[in-house]
């Protein structure tokens, strides 16, 4: 699929344009420069054509610290993938030396460039568009990401250049979300699975600000894996950017199939990890727990890690625990196989005859009886239980445990809905 890369210096509105074009908020938008650090992928559908679009981190050319160099590497990788470049500048600040330097770096690539002059919100701003003619880019567009102006023309011209692309119906993509506290190894895990540097990895906790996603194939199945900002307790959130990052993660949980909960074995399981697991459980999503950095442990300690992890997450004892080293690639294939297994488990349909047998053999609830159990849904599995009297949570746990003993559903929450009916109805 043809690809567009959005590039430009910091705070010119690249992420706002990205969000506008894909039709949802994926990149964090904030007045503080340099929020986007990784390269973020989305899809744009226009006039029956579909193409990838990549948001990249902005940069000031004179920066030379380790993190800035890694962000620049992300930009270079995006440009290498791109068939078309959206070079974004800011009408309100006018043409700056940094814009000219970026333009000079883009020319040797010999790729089609669209100059998007952003923040053209009024007549005064539109007069400044001509200032950017010094860059010598023929296809120049005045746009406003905030107001949504000018993008029809941009996309029309894009469709002409990327003319050989048509919409194709894709098969199901299994969505994996990596969750954990800051610096647990989430971005390293994503990069290791993809065998490329898609997320910026740095020793500073909280390097990933946006949701970083990528697609890959494994055992003839298509996957999308999403790296997230390190989750914290609300009381520990210190600024709006962290708050928006956490809200973005909470919303995306609704859209995924499997969550991988990762933690550092040397820090152990803490309350934040349990809170993350409880959040995923409340959304009824499949889970795998991945204790990370086992390459630094003695072999004799590995079995203790599994046992202590199960003890810590005792409220989700149905979830597989797969120790890994994201950095060394240890246990990654086992993790992927387990993710695939959990996904298949979530799609199970319980045998109707077996459900009738279960009803016959159940221990009856106090002052009532179970008349019927039917599975009403999958992913997640939902069971409708007809009973003659209301039941307490302990009996629901007993039903859930019984269903799991018969059918498995490993790594998948089982939802039970009860309906009080009269016997014989």
Known binder of ligand: residue 417?
Answer: no
Q: Are 252 and 211 a contacting pair, CB within 8 Å?
A: yes
Known binder of ligand: residue 12?
Answer: yes
Known binder of ligand: residue 386?
Answer: no
Query: Can you say how many angstroms the Cα of residue 45 is from the centroid of all Cα atoms in its chain?
Result: 20
Known binder of ligand: residue 8?
Answer: yes
Known binder of ligand: residue 55?
Answer: yes
Known binder of ligand: residue 11?
Answer: yes
Known binder of ligand: residue 80?
Answer: no
Distance CA 291, CA 269 (A): 9
Token couple for 58:
């902005």
The contacts of residue 306 (CB under 8 Å, 6+ apart) are 291, 321, 323
Known binder of ligand: residue 59?
Answer: yes
Known binder of ligand: residue 186?
Answer: yes
Known binder of ligand: residue 14?
Answer: yes
Known binder of ligand: residue 294?
Answer: yes
Known binder of ligand: residue 120?
Answer: yes
Known binder of ligand: residue 295?
Answer: yes
Q: Bridge-partner residues for 40, per DSSP?
A: 55
* Residue 367 CB-half CA count within 13 A: 5
The contacts of residue 42 (CB under 8 Å, 6+ apart) are 18, 21, 22, 26, 52, 53, 54, 55
Known binder of ligand: residue 191?
Answer: no
Residue 248's nearest CA partner among 294, 194, 211 is 211
| Cα separation values, 94 from 134, 182, 184, 315, Å | 12, 38, 41, 57
Known binder of ligand: residue 181?
Answer: yes
Known binder of ligand: residue 57?
Answer: yes
Known binder of ligand: residue 292?
Answer: yes
Known binder of ligand: residue 166?
Answer: no
Annotated binding site for GTP: 8-15, 55-59, 118-121, 180-187, 292-295
Annotated binding site: 8-15, 55-59, 118-121, 180-187, 292-295
């Amino acid at each position: 699929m043809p690809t567009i890369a959005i590039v430009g210096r910091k705070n010119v509105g690249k992420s706002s344009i990205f969000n506008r074009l894909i039709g949802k908020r994926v990149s964090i938008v904030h007045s503080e420069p340099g929020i986007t650090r990784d390269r973020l992928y989305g899809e744009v559908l226009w006039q029956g054509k579909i193409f990838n679009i990549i948001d990249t981190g902005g940069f000031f050319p004179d920066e030379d610290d380790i993190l800035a160099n890694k962000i620049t590497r992300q930009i270079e990788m995006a440009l290498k993938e791109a068939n078309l470049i959206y070079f974004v500048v800011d009408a309100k600040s006018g043409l700056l030396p940094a814009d000219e330097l970026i333009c000079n770096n883009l020319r040797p690539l010999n790729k089609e460039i669209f100059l998007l002059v952003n923040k053209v919100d009024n007549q005064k701003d539109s007069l400044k568009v001509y200032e950017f003619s010094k860059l010598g880019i023929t296809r120049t567009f005045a746009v406003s990401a905030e107001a949504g102006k000018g993008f029809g023309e941009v996309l029309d011209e894009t469709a002409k250049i990327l003319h050989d692309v048509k919409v194709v119906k894709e098969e199901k993509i299994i969505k994996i979300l990596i969750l954990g506290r800051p610096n647990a190894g989430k971005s390293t895990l994503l990069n290791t699975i993809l065998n490329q540097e898609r997320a910026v990895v740095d020793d500073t906790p909280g390097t990933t600000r946006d949701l970083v996603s990528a697609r890959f194939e494994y055992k003839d199945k298509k996957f999308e894996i999403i790296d997230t900002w390190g989750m914290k307790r609300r009381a520990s959130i210190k600024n709006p950017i962290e708050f928006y990052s956490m809200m973005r993660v909470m919303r995306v949980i609704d859209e995924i199939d499997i969550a991988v909960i990762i933690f550092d074995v040397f820090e152990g399981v803490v309350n934040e990890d349990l809170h993350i697991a409880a959040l995923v459980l409340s959304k009824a999503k499949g889970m795998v727990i991945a204790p990370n950095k086992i390459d630094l442990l003695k072999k004799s300690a590995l079995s203790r890690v599994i046992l202590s992890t199960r003890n810590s997450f005792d409220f989700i004892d149905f979830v597989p625990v797969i120790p890994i080293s994201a950095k060394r690639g240890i246990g990654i294939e086992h993790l992927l196989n387990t993710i695939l297994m959990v996904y298949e488990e979530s799609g199970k349909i319980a045998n109707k005859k077996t459900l009738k047998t279960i009803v016959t053999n159940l221990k009856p609830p106090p002052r009532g009886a179970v008349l019927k159990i039917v599975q009403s849904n999958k992913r997640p599995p939902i069971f409708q239980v007809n009973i003659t009297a209301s039941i307490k949570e302990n009996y629901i746990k007993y039903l859930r445990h019984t269903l799991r003993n018969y059918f498995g559903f490993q790594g998948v929450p089982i939802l039970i809905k009860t309906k009080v009916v009269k016997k014989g109805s």
